[in-house]
Structure 1
Amino acid sequence: MYKLRDASGKAQPVAPIKEPVVESRVRSEPPRKPAYAFSLPQIDVSSLISWLLARWHWILIAAVIGALVGIGYGMSAKPRYTVYTDILVPPANLQVLPNDVYLQNQQSDSQLLDVESKLLVLTSGNVLRRVVNELGLANDPEFVGTGASGFSLGSLFSSKPTVADKTLAAMRSLSERISARRQERSYMITISAWANNPDTAVKVADTLAKAFEEEVAQAEADGAGRAAAALTERLAELKKGASEAEAKVAEFKRDNGLQTTSGELISSQSMAQINIKLVDANARLVEAQSRYNELTASKPNQSNPSGTLQSPTLTGLRSQYAAVKQTVDSMSMTYGSRYPGLIRARSQLGGLEQQISQETGRILRAAQVDLEQAKSVVDALKQQAASARSSVSMDNDAQVRLSDLERDMATKIAIYQTFLTRAGETTERQQLNSTNIRVISSAVPPLRRSWPPRTALLAAGGTFAGLGIGAFLAIGVGLLGAMRNDRKTQKA
């Protein structure tokens, strides 16, 4: 134990490492750059100018090449000739029928929507197909060439293209060559079409406008045709319903004995006529009764001219009686009672009295007969009126049901007649072109091509493009050299 302690005491202690010394040693070392650092050198205007001047021949060569490319493209590219056609498409069509199938919309927003819809119809497949078929574009190499139909591996193994394929190819090519737009705040549509030949472009534009007008007219005719077909299909059922309603009315009249003239039941007319006759018969009865009462109320003197009984015969007899009476009275005062003339006069006077008495009786009997006849006529008419009244009462009850049947019949007939007239008008509407589309300005052959631009402009554009490309290459090469020199400097 002792030795160990002595050895430990004799041993020299080791000095500890101080942290400040280590920190100072680390801070004194310079920072190391990463092995792959990338930085752009500083570039000024003088450097750019020197790079451009050092490689001016590159820029010149690029400009010459650009000019040659522009000239070559302008001389070799297929020209495009664009023509324009203006079409006025008013939303309101011609009013060819008083009750047209299509309503006239007066709202501006709806009118603009109508024009926009027709603008889409202008470039639709139906219109394009009309143009292709009318101009025979399916056989035109310009529209169905390899550029129009494209190239595919399947074409290497496929057979000769069909007419439908050529038509579709021509329609695709035509759709890329035309455009249509509406002028702002107007109903004017401008059509543009281009082709490699100015005459072809004019034909395409004119045919497109014509096909558009025909397609709109055909669309309206087809709509009217569908409406007419729907109305015609409905007509058979409506006609059957109207015929059944008429049959029901006729059967009901026949079963109930209802007969009408001028829209009025015969029983009602008979009742009215009987009432008129009854009024007249009552008037004649009152007159006959009054005359008979007057004749029987008093006993008039048969020889008195002012008596109640008056008749021409009786008046003549009374005149004769008065004359003979005067003669008898005169002769009685002059001659005796046995005087032959007086006897004859008295005998004549007695005969006149007897005739007057007979005429008076005849008049009374005639008045009585007239009274009895008037009573019998009134009684008969009253019986007829009672019978007609009961018949009219029964007919009135049946008339209520008949009125319902007649109203139903009239309604069905009116509907059938309306549908029949409407179907006829709509059918005729198919044959009429009511579109108000007008070509305001037709296409004219252009003076110069629309694409490519003139060769001089292409040459100038190619020259400027070559200058830009050459300058870009010169600056790029100079920038790469500057970056290489900068990296060598950093490594050294």
Structure 2
Amino acid sequence: MSDHEGRRKAGVEKPLLAFSDVRPTDRPTGRPPAPRDSEAAPPWTPPATSDERAAFFHEHDHDAQETPEPVIEEELDDADVAELQKRVALIEAELERKIQERERRKIAIEADAPPPEPAREPVMREHPVADRPAPDAEWKPLIDPRIAIDVVRGSRRLLLVSTILGGVVAALYALSLPQMYVASTDILVDPRNIKTVGDELTPGQLPTDASLAVAESQARIIDSSSVLLKVIDRTDLTKDPEFNGTLVPTGIAGLFAQIKDILSPQKASDSQTLQTRVLYNLHKSIAIGRDAKTFIYSISVKTRDPQKSASLANTISTVFQSELASLQSDAARRTSDELSNRLADMRANVEQAERAAADFRASHDLVNVDGKLISDNDLTRLNDQLTNQRAETMRLQARVQVLSNATSDSVVTGTLPEDLRSNTLTALRAQYAQARQTASGLSTQLGPRHPALIQAQSQAGTVLSDIDAELRRIRSSLQVEVSRSVQQEKDLTTRLAQLKSQQANNSGDLVKLRELEREATARRSVYEAFLLRSRETNEQEGLNTANVRVLSEARPPLDPASTSRKLIVIAGLIAGFLAGLAITAVRNFGRLLRL
């Protein structure tokens, strides 16, 4: 190392503001003298205000100018000057930060502490050189961008080679990939099944939550194993090399496939394993889609052959429809079987309940006719008879009252009510009218003592006597009828009272009987409902109530739907460039991290 480089290094390592080099002089400087060895020097406090800091630096520079030290002149290049300026700026910034931090701490302490004591003037204290911060302790980034750029520039050839190699490998891989064709078919699966009974074919409304659940369930049915296995059997996919795993890829893809076969353990292949492999490959080539607000499902199949893709999509749609109908038919058959098994037990329960009601009715003499008890019928009939008899008694009594005031004159004059007139009274009234007319005619021709006139008048009086006798006979007959009616009314009242008493005595039995009859009726209603439902489900087994329609059949696609080869090549170029960057970073790891 030359003397010039040694002096340069020593000047860099020495801080610019070395306050420990300041020595007090005999001249008055406006500051208190430095403490002696016997006195403890208080810690140096940096100036608080900007004016104090300016005065401090001015005094320090003045002392330094009065006591200059011999300086060795040396030439400094631009890099050294820039480095010194950088270090001066860092030291000033650090000093300013510490001063501000001390001011903030002092303000916080003064806010909570008692009134401060008179401030003492700062005293310079020498610090050993070992306590001074080293210039290299300043913060530096982990990776210097300039070094990273230099490393990348130095590895341009490696990056170019890795990028080209990645693009070539990607191009070869893209050329080895087969062309894939996608065919799709759209079907509408309405969760509202067709109704075989009722006025409407489909329900008018459908709950939102229920519709979403049904839609998701039907989407799972489309690519379920039960559907795909039937598709495999119909299309004989176990013999298709694309699905049974015997198709060997070409190019780089074939190389990767061979490496995979070598690394993977060899397993014995049987019919079950072959079917599972075909099912797995078919499931990977199928995509089921549905819009969020519709029940239209899109079934897409991706294979290497456009005709095969369209055929598989249509076959899956057909098998799904038949599977959905089969599921509904199985559900109807299972329901019908369950109902049939329950019908025998329910029939026995109905017979048992009806037998219990009949036995209780017979044992307690509670026989009924047309669904009503005989006692109830008798009570109703007697009540009606008693009502009619009371009306008849009142009618007869009214007739007797009228006849009691009736005389022969009321009969002759016609004031007697018509319903009280008998045939005899009518004839006697006619005879009286004839005799009265004869007597009136003779009275105008003969004298009052003429025998013919007297005979005619006597005949009219005889007719009036006969009328009075007939009225007495009718009155007596009505009295007999009234007595008979009153007696019948009393008999009916007595019989009705007896039936009511008997009904009251049988009230507990009637309650028990009605309970047994209600139980029998309830069991009979349930049995009839189950029987009707069983007949309906039996008829629905052969009906396809699934509301499924094919909107568009799959057609062979004209263009492949594989990944663009250009994108693969671009991805390979990017991957090659990134690989080159990784290799460069590994090779220059220590240099990048400044190790």
TM-score tier, shorter chain, comes to: 0.5 to 0.7
Q: Are 1:222 and 2:330 counterparts?
A: yes
Match for 1:235 among 339, 343, 353?
Answer: 343
Cα deviation 1:224-283 (Å, max 9, x = unaligned):
444444444333444444444455555566632433589994224412431232123212
Aligned length in residues? 410
Q: List aligned pairs for 1:163-312, cutoff 5 A.
A: 166-183=274-291, 187-247=295-355, 255-260=365-370, 265-290=376-401, 293-294=404-405, 311-312=425-426
How many angstroms apart in 1 are the aligned matches of 2:468 and 2:188? 108
Task: Give the partner amino acid of 1:445.
Answer: P
Judging changes above 3 Å, is the alpha-carbon distance between structure 1 residues 288 and 199 closer, same or farther for their aligned structure 2 residues?
same
Query: Offset at 1:379?
Result: 0.9
User: Gaps spanning 5+ residues in structure 2: where?
Assistant: 1-147, 249-260, 589-595
Cα deviation 1:124-150 (Å, max 9, x = unaligned):
1111112112223234444335469x9
Query: Offset at 1:401?
Result: 4.8
How many angstroms apart in 2 are the aligned matches of 1:467 and 1:94? 61
Contact 1:83 1:201 in 2 (8 A): yes
Task: Give the partner amino acid of 1:378.
Answer: V
How many angstroms apart in 1 are the aligned matches of 2:312 and 2:237? 10
Q: Secondary structure at the match of 1:379?
A: helix
Partner of 1:82: 182
How many angstroms apart in 1 are the aligned matches of 2:344 and 2:307? 55
Contact 1:305 1:318 in 2 (8 A): no
Judging changes above 3 Å, is the alpha-carbon distance between structure 1 residues 248 and 346 closer, same or farther for their aligned structure 2 residues?
farther
Judging changes above 3 Å, is the alpha-carbon distance between structure 1 residues 468 and 402 closer, same or farther for their aligned structure 2 residues?
closer
Q: TM-score, normalised by structure 1?
A: 0.62
Contact 2:366 2:373 in 1 (8 A): no
Match for 1:382 among 490, 498, 504?
Answer: 490
Partner of 1:107: 208
Q: TM-score, normalised by structure 2?
A: 0.53
Match for 2:229 among 129, 134, 155?
Answer: 129
User: Percent identity at matched positions?
Assistant: 21
Match for 2:220 among 116, 120, 124?
Answer: 120
How many angstroms apart in 1 are the aligned matches of 2:415 and 2:192? 97
Judging changes above 3 Å, is the alpha-carbon distance between structure 1 residues 144 and 291 closer, same or farther for their aligned structure 2 residues?
same
Q: Secondary structure at the match of 1:256?
A: coil
Q: Secondary structure at the match of 2:555?
A: coil
Q: Which moved more, 1:42-51 or 1:461-470?
A: 461-470
Judging changes above 3 Å, is the alpha-carbon distance between structure 1 residues 226 and 466 closer, same or farther for their aligned structure 2 residues?
closer
Task: Give the partner amino acid of 1:374.
Answer: V
Task: Give the partner amino acid of 2:230.
Answer: R
Contact 1:202 1:445 in 2 (8 A): yes
How many angstroms apart in 2 are the aligned matches of 1:84 and 1:189? 10
How many angstroms apart in 1 are the aligned matches of 2:371 and 2:212? 59
Partner of 1:419: 530
Task: Give the partner amino acid of 1:193.
Answer: V
Contact 1:221 1:430 in 2 (8 A): yes
Q: Secondary structure at the match of 1:443?
A: coil
Contact 1:183 1:190 in 2 (8 A): no
Contact 2:353 2:519 in 1 (8 A): yes
Contact 1:127 1:212 in 2 (8 A): yes
Partner of 1:7: none
Q: Which moved more, 1:285-294 or 1:460-469?
A: 460-469
Judging changes above 3 Å, is the alpha-carbon distance between structure 1 residues 449 and 354 closer, same or farther for their aligned structure 2 residues?
closer
Query: Offset at 1:376?
Result: 1.4
How many angstroms apart in 1 are the aligned matches of 2:447 and 2:293? 134
Q: Secondary structure at the match of 1:83?
A: strand
Q: Secondary structure at the match of 1:446?
A: coil
Contact 1:87 1:190 in 2 (8 A): yes
Partner of 2:62: none
Task: Give the partner amino acid of 2:300.
Answer: S
Query: Offset at 1:352?
Result: 7.6
Judging changes above 3 Å, is the alpha-carbon distance between structure 1 residues 285 and 116 closer, same or farther for their aligned structure 2 residues?
closer
Contact 2:194 2:201 in 1 (8 A): no
Task: Give the partner amino acid of 2:299.
Answer: I
Judging changes above 3 Å, is the alpha-carbon distance between structure 1 residues 248 and 361 closer, same or farther for their aligned structure 2 residues?
farther
Q: Secondary structure at the match of 1:192?
A: strand
Cα deviation 1:202-222 (Å, max 9, x = unaligned):
111121223233333433443
Judging changes above 3 Å, is the alpha-carbon distance between structure 1 residues 263 and 138 closer, same or farther for their aligned structure 2 residues?
farther
Judging changes above 3 Å, is the alpha-carbon distance between structure 1 residues 154 and 390 closer, same or farther for their aligned structure 2 residues?
same
Q: Secondary structure at the match of 1:315?
A: helix
How many angstroms apart in 2 are the aligned matches of 1:365 and 1:229? 84
Judging changes above 3 Å, is the alpha-carbon distance between structure 1 residues 128 and 289 closer, same or farther for their aligned structure 2 residues?
same
Q: Which has the higher contact order (CA 8 A, sep 6+)?
A: 1
How many angstroms apart in 1 are the aligned matches of 2:556 and 2:473? 121
Query: Offset at 1:372?
Result: 0.9
Partner of 2:476: 368
Query: Offset at 1:419?
Result: 3.3
Q: Are 1:314 and 2:314 counterparts?
A: no
Query: Offset at 1:52?
Result: 9.0
Judging changes above 3 Å, is the alpha-carbon distance between structure 1 residues 469 and 333 closer, same or farther for their aligned structure 2 residues?
closer
Judging changes above 3 Å, is the alpha-carbon distance between structure 1 residues 152 and 466 closer, same or farther for their aligned structure 2 residues?
closer
How many angstroms apart in 2 are the aligned matches of 1:83 and 1:96? 35
Cα deviation 1:385-433 (Å, max 9, x = unaligned):
4214422553475555554444444433433343344444444555454
Contact 2:180 2:561 in 1 (8 A): yes
Q: Secondary structure at the match of 1:179?
A: strand
How many angstroms apart in 1 are the aligned matches of 2:575 and 2:429? 153
Contact 1:278 1:382 in 2 (8 A): no
Partner of 1:138: 238
Partner of 1:394: 502
How many angstroms apart in 2 are the aligned matches of 1:351 and 1:373? 33
Task: Give the partner amino acid of 1:256.
Answer: L
Task: Give the partner amino acid of 2:429.
Answer: T
Judging changes above 3 Å, is the alpha-carbon distance between structure 1 residues 452 and 267 closer, same or farther for their aligned structure 2 residues?
same
Contact 1:292 1:371 in 2 (8 A): no
Partner of 1:19: none
Contact 1:128 1:208 in 2 (8 A): yes
Cα deviation 1:314-365 (Å, max 9, x = unaligned):
335545665569969957847xxxxxxx4x9878887886676566445423
